[in-house]
Structure 1
């Protein structure tokens, strides 16, 4: 990576997948944050990650156009649950600590709010993923509960999965939306 500064977020395109796949595969193989199958192929992973309408997938790129991270977002559940959104984030290990995750997270929350979602629910935040838990809490997410021993961490063994939620009808600066 020739530049460490994120300069843009943009909609992900099919041509971005070859840049996303290496860090996607490495993060899944690391066994600490995602419960995707270990034997996931690139094609299968692309189908899971490259979210289409009514959701979206974005990439964070540096000044040279290198992909530093990606996020996907959309409805958490179909049908009568589609008013609550969700999102997933992956940052290249080479770009950790540069604010890429925060940039992607803030964009996802803003997009979900603008798109009319009432809240954001994360179904499975690994409790030992301290950086993610700290980020979500700093953005106003609450831990609604923890499913004990629901994730088999490669280094910690069986650990809990947090269910986290952000009410998009409440603006931290002005209170509940009364429209």
Structure 2
């Protein structure tokens, strides 16, 4: 098992992980009809660094790391994480979460902020809390969940 920077050769594997999650529309505020090109640009483009969790040659998880804001907020980073559906429950999310915290510190970030954690994603909320994040804000009815209707979103934050 390893976590390494994603390369252009990983684009198909990353898309394979992103597509079912984005299409389901339950955890990311991304248009469920997003194109492959736009999804990969969102995840791997711009000022994002993308990483993959690989086991026996298979990419089973991915995350991105980027500044949350510029200027006076450039010391705070933001990340997004997805584990392959078939690999859920194997601790991959925790491993990539821990890896992102280490890499963020190495890059000089002093805090990490998640801007929009869907409150009904209880597994993610629990994981981030066990990794030292606090819910510092709640956005009432901010996310239109396809099965639950309007649910809250959390702003989660931790110092590095």
For structure 2, the 5+ residue unaligned runs are none
> C-alpha distance in 2, partners of 1:52/1:160?
28
Question: Residue 142 of structure 1 aligns with which residue?
Answer: 134
CA distance in 2, matches of 1:42, 1:148: 30
In 2, the alpha carbon distance for the partners of 1:44 and 1:79 equals 26
Q: 5+ residue gaps in structure 1?
A: 1-6, 169-179
1:134 aligns to what SS in structure 2? Answer: helix
Q: Is the 8 A contact 1:51 1:73 kept in 2?
A: no
Alpha carbon RMSD of aligned pairs, Å? Answer: 1.1
* 1:100 matches 2:92: yes
Bigger Cα Rg: 1
Partner of 2:80: 88
TM-score normalised to structure 1 length: 0.86
Aligned length: 160
Question: After TM superposition, where is structure 1 displaced by more than 2 Å over at least 4 residues in a row?
Answer: none
- Rounded to whole Å, the distance in 2 between the matches of 1:51 and 1:88 is 13
1:56 equivalent to 2:43? Answer no
CA separation in 2, counterparts of 1:129 and 1:145?
A: 16
Bigger helix share: 2
